[in-house]
Amino acid sequence: MHSELIGRRLAELAEFEPPAGGWRAVLAARDARETRLDLRWPLALAAAALIAAVGIAARLQSAQEALDDGSVAVRAPVAAEMRAENERLESILAQLPERRAMRGSTAFTVAELEDRLALLDDRLSRVALEPNAPERAERLWRQRVDVMHTLVQVRYADAIGGY
């Protein structure tokens, strides 16, 4: 009954001619279309890989030109200076005597500064994964040294005040 209804509806269509091979022709046409679609995915993936490779090559080329230019080499001494200053401040901080009791406001300030240092250390550990790593790393090292200066000053003032 259902197939008769479909047959009548198809017959009522204007200028409808069933395929020469019947249902087999319809299935063959569908399979051919799916085969064409199946071939598009590998081509699309190959095109995407090619675009990515060209982008990476261009990025590497610009990085190489920057190295040849010397613009990156100028930043390296700045980062080395910041690290050396950080080590000096760490050494001073390690030599300051630890007080068993400190004022609440001083303890709060020290804790805040140490938290900021921990946050900066976390960011510095992840900065190598970023595309603008040298500029960002330099900025983070400068911030770390500034926080270290402040921490040394607070701890020094607390140590002097306790004696």
pLDDT digits (tens, 9 = 90+) for 4-52: 877 777 667 667 566 677 777 777 777 777 776 666 666 666 777 778 7
User: Given this model, what pLDDT does residue 41 score?
Assistant: 61
pLDDT, residue 146, reads 92
Find the mean pLDDT for residues 44-63: 72
pLDDT band at 157 (very low <50, low <70, confident <90, very high): confident
Looking at residue 73, its pLDDT comes to 44
pLDDT at position 116 over 60: yes
In angstroms, the first-to-last Cα distance of the chain is 105
In the chain, the amino acid numbered 121 is D
- Nearest-angstrom CA–CA distance, 18 and 10: 9
Per-residue pLDDT averaged across 109-137, rounded? 82
Question: Is the pLDDT reported for residue 143 higher than 70?
Answer: yes
Distances (CA, A) of 45 to 32, 39, 53, 56: 21, 10, 12, 16
> What are 139's two structure tokens?
């900025």
CB 39 within 8 A of CB 33: no
3-state SS class at 15: coil
Task: Tell the residue number behind the tokens 């259902």, with chain if given.
Answer: 2
71-109: per-residue pLDDT in tens?
444 445 667 888 899 899 888 888 888 777 778 888 888
Q: State the virtual CA torsion across 60, 62, 66, 68 in degrees, nearest 10.
A: 70
- Joined together, the tokens standing for residue 75 give 């930043």
